[in-house]
C-alpha cells in the first residue's frame, strides 16, 4: 500500500513561509526528516530540518537531483518564481510527487490577465479591469473609471509579489502610476482596475486538481505602515481567524471561488494541484476576487499552520497524487476545511531598514531567544549567520514572530510583546496587526 504520511519531504524555497512549513511538517507523526533547499541558516536551526544550501531553486534539473538523492516522497514548492521556472513540471516528469501546480496552471498567478480570463469563464467575480500595452489606452480606461465615480488601481502585469500595485486616491495619482509602470515594467503591459473597498481575506485551499479543502481564513496587512498607510509590501503581518468572517463560511466561499476556478483549469487541460490562494475583498455587495496566488501566502502561512489540528503532510501528499478523498475523512471533505485548533494567532513581520524599496542587510539581530522564550514562534525570512555566529539581517522581510493564544486580543498583545524583544538597527514592524479586528468586534 502506498504510504499516507510522507516520511521524507523536500521543501523548495527559503523564506518565512517555508520555515513555517518545515516547522509544521517536521513535527508530524511519521516524519523522519524535512529537507529545505536552498533554505537558510535560520531554517537549518529547526529540529529535524536540514537545508541543502548550494542549489539554485529555479533550476529544475538541480531540484530533481536533490529530490532523487535525498529519496524524498514528496516535494512542496513555496515561491511563485519556482513554479514559473517549471520546477514542478520537471519533478512530475521524473515521477516524483510534488505539491505545487504546473507552470501552465500557475499562470493563474503569474499573469493577471489570465486570472481575469479564467475567473470570467468560471463565473467568479473580479474587479472590472483590463491589461494594456499602450499608454494612452491605459490612461483613457483610468479616466473612464474615474468619470464613472470610481477610483483606480494600477498593477504591474507580471510577478511582483504584491509590490507592483498602486491603489490610487485620484486620477492624477493613477496617471503618474501608469506612466511610471510603463517606464519600468519589463513586460510592457500594465493592468488598470476599478478600486473596490472593504476588508480583505486570504482563503488558501489545498487542491488535488478537482477537489479543494481550505486552511483557516486569515488576513494579511499589505501596507508598510500602521493604519494601512505607506507603500504596498509583500505582507507585514497576518492574523487568524477573522472575527468578521467565521471559518464555517469557508465551504460557501470555496463554492464561489476555488471550486469553479479548479473546474475551469481542469477543463482547459491544466488541472491545479497545489495551494490555490484566493485574495478576497469583502465589498458591501459580497466577496470579490482581487487576485489568485498559486502557492501558500507569506506571512499568512506563518499564522495559519499553527492553527491546524491535523497533520498537513498526508493532505499535501494526497493532493500531489490527485486524490484528497483517499486520505481525508468524508466529513472533512464535506466541510471543506481542515480541522482547526481553538484560539487565535497573530504573525508580525519584522522588516529590514529601507524595506520595501532598498532593504539594508548585515546588521546583527538580538533578542531572538527571548522572543522564543516568551512562547512565540520565530520564523526566519531573511537572515544569515555572521562569521562570529551571530544572526544578521539579510533580506527585505527578516523574521516573523507568531503568538498563539485563546483569543485574538491575547494573541495580539503577545505577538506585539515578542516583536518588541527582537532588535536590530532600523528593524521595522507594524504595531496594529489584529487591532482593527479587535476594535471592530468591540464596536459590534
Ligand atoms: P494584488 O497583488 O493584486 O493582490 O494587490 C495587492 C493589494 O492591493 C491587495 O491586497 C489590495 O490591498 C490592493 N488591491 C489590489 N487590487 C485592488 C482593487 N481592485 N481594489 C482595491 N484594492 C486593491
Ligand atoms: N501575503 C500575500 C502573498 O503571499 O502574496
Q: pLDDT tens-digit profile of 400-418?
A: 999 999 999 999 999 999 9
Cβ 363 under 6 angstroms from ligand 2: no
**Of residues 162 and 370, which shows the higher confidence score?**
370
Per-residue model confidence (pLDDT) at position 148: 87
Mean pLDDT of 355-368: 94
**Of residues 2 and 419, which shows the higher confidence score?**
419
Mean pLDDT of 267-287: 97
Per-residue model confidence (pLDDT) at position 427: 96
* Residue 163 reports pLDDT greater than 70: no
Mean pLDDT of 141-149: 92
List Cβ neighbours of 85 (8 Å cut-off, separation of 6 or more): 58, 59, 60, 103
* Residue 161 reports pLDDT greater than 60: no
- Probe ligand 1: pick from 158, 236, 281, 293, max atoms within 8 Å of CB? 281
Alpha-helical segments (H) within 2-78: 16-26, 60-69
Mean pLDDT of 43-56: 95
CA 429 to chain CA centroid, nearest Å: 18
Ligand positioned closest to the Cα atom of 15 = 2
Percent of the chain with pLDDT over 70: 96
Mean pLDDT of 228-251: 93
- Looking from the CA of residue 235, the nearest atom of ligand 2 is 1
Q: How confident is the model at residue 1 (pLDDT cuts 50, 70, 90)?
A: very low
Q: How confident is the model at residue 2 (pLDDT cuts 50, 70, 90)?
A: low
* Residue 380 reports pLDDT greater than 70: yes
**Complete domains list, the chain, with CATH:** 8-99 (3.40.50.20), 131-195 (3.30.1490.20), 198-335 (3.30.470.20), 344-443 (3.90.600.10)
- Probe ligand 1: pick from 159, 167, 219, max atoms within 8 Å of CB? 167
- What is the spatial distance between Cα 204 and Cα 301, in angstroms, rounded to a whole number? 9
Per-residue model confidence (pLDDT) at position 187: 67
- What is the spatial distance between Cα 74 and Cα 91, in angstroms, rounded to a whole number? 10
Cβ 298 under 6 angstroms from ligand 2: yes
Per-residue model confidence (pLDDT) at position 92: 98
Per-residue model confidence (pLDDT) at position 436: 72
Per-residue model confidence (pLDDT) at position 209: 98
Mean pLDDT of 145-153: 91
Peptide bond into 79 cis (omega under 30): no
Per-residue model confidence (pLDDT) at position 90: 98
Q: How confident is the model at residue 115 (pLDDT cuts 50, 70, 90)?
A: very high
Cβ 291 under 6 angstroms from ligand 2: no
Query: How do residues 50-93 score in pLDDT, each as one tens digit?
Result: 999 999 999 999 999 999 999 999 999 999 999 999 999 999 99
Candidates 369, 356, 441; CA nearest to 401 is 369
- What is the spatial distance between Cα 354 and Cα 356, in angstroms, rounded to a whole number? 6
Cβ 162 under 6 angstroms from ligand 2: yes
Mean pLDDT of 10-24: 98
Candidates 24, 29, 39, 22; CA nearest to 6 is 29
Amino acid at each position: 500500500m502506498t504510504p499516507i504520511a510522507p516520511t521524507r519531504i523536500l521543501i523548495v524555497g527559503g523564506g518565512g513561509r517555508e520555515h513555517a512549513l518545515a516547522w509544521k511538517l517536521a513535527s508530524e507523526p511519521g516524519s523522519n526528516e524535512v529537507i529545505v533547499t536552498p533554505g537558510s541558516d535560520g531554517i537549518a536551526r529547526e529540529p529535524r530540518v536540514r537545508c541543502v544550501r548550494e542549489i539554485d531553486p529555479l533550476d529544475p534539473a538541480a531540484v530533481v537531483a536533490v529530490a532523487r538523492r535525498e529519496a524524498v516522497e514528496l516535494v512542496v514548492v513555496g515561491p511563485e518564481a519556482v513554479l514559473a521556472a517549471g520546477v514542478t513540471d520537471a519533478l512530475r516528469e521524473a515521477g516524483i510527487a510534488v505539491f505545487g501546480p504546473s507552470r501552465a496552471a500557475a499562470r493563474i498567478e503569474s499573469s493577471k490577465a489570465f486570472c481575469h480570463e479564467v475567473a470570467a469563464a468560471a463565473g467568479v467575480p473580479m474587479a472590472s479591469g483590463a491589461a494594456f500595452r499602450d499608454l494612452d489606452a491605459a490612461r483613457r480606461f483610468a479616466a473612464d473609471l474615474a468619470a464613472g465615480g470610481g477610483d483606480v488601481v494600477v498593477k504591474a502585469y507580471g510577478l511582483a509579489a504584491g509590490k507592483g500595485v498602486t491603489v490610487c486616491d485620484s486620477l492624477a495619482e493613477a496617471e503618474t502610476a501608469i506612466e511610471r509602470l510603463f517606464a519600468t515594467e519589463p513586460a510592457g503591459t500594465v493592468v488598470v482596475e476599478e478600486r473596490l473597498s472593504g476588508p480583505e481575506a486570504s482563503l488558501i485551499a489545498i487542491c488535488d486538481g478537482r477537489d479543494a479543502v481550505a486552511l483557516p481564513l486569515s488576513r494579511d496587512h499589505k501596507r508598510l505602515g500602521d493604519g494601512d498607510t505607506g507603500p504596498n509590501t509583500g505582507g507585514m503581518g497576518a492574523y487568524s481567524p477573522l472575527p468578521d468572517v467565521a471559518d464555517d463560511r469557508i465551504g460557501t466561499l470555496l463554492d464561489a471561488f476555488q471550486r469553479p476556478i479548479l473546474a475551469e483549469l481542469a477543463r482547459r487541460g491544466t488541472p491545479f494541484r497545489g495551494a490555490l490562494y484566493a485574495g478576497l475583498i469583502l465589498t458591501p455587495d459580497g466577496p470579490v476576487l482581487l487576485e489568485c496566488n498559486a502557492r501558500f501566502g507569506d506571512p499568512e502561512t506563518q499564522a495559519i499552520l499553527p492553527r491546524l489540528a491535523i497533520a498537513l503532510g498526508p493532505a499535501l501528499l494526497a493532493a500531489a497524487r490527485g486524490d484528497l478523498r483517499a486520505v481525508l475523512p468524508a466529513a472533512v471533505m464535506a466541510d471543506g476545511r481542515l480541522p482547526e485548533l481553538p484560539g487565535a494567532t497573530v504573525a508580525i513581520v519584522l522588516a529590514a531598514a529601507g524595506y520595501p524599496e532598498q532593504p539594508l542587510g548585515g546588521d546583527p539581530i538580538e533578542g531572538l531567544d527571548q522572543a522564543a522564550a516568551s512562547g512565540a514562534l520565530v520564523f526566519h525570512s531573511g537572515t544569515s549567520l555572521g562569521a562570529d555566529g551571530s544572526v544578521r539581517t539579510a533580506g527585505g522581510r527578516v523574521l516573523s514572530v507568531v503568538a498563539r493564544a485563546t483569543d485574538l486580543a491575547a494573541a495580539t498583545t503577545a505577538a506585539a510583546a515578542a516583536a518588541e524583544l527582537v532588535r536590530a538597527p532600523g528593524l521595522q514592524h507594524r504595531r496594529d496587526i489584529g487591532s482593527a479586528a479587535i476594535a471592530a468586534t468591540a464596536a459590534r
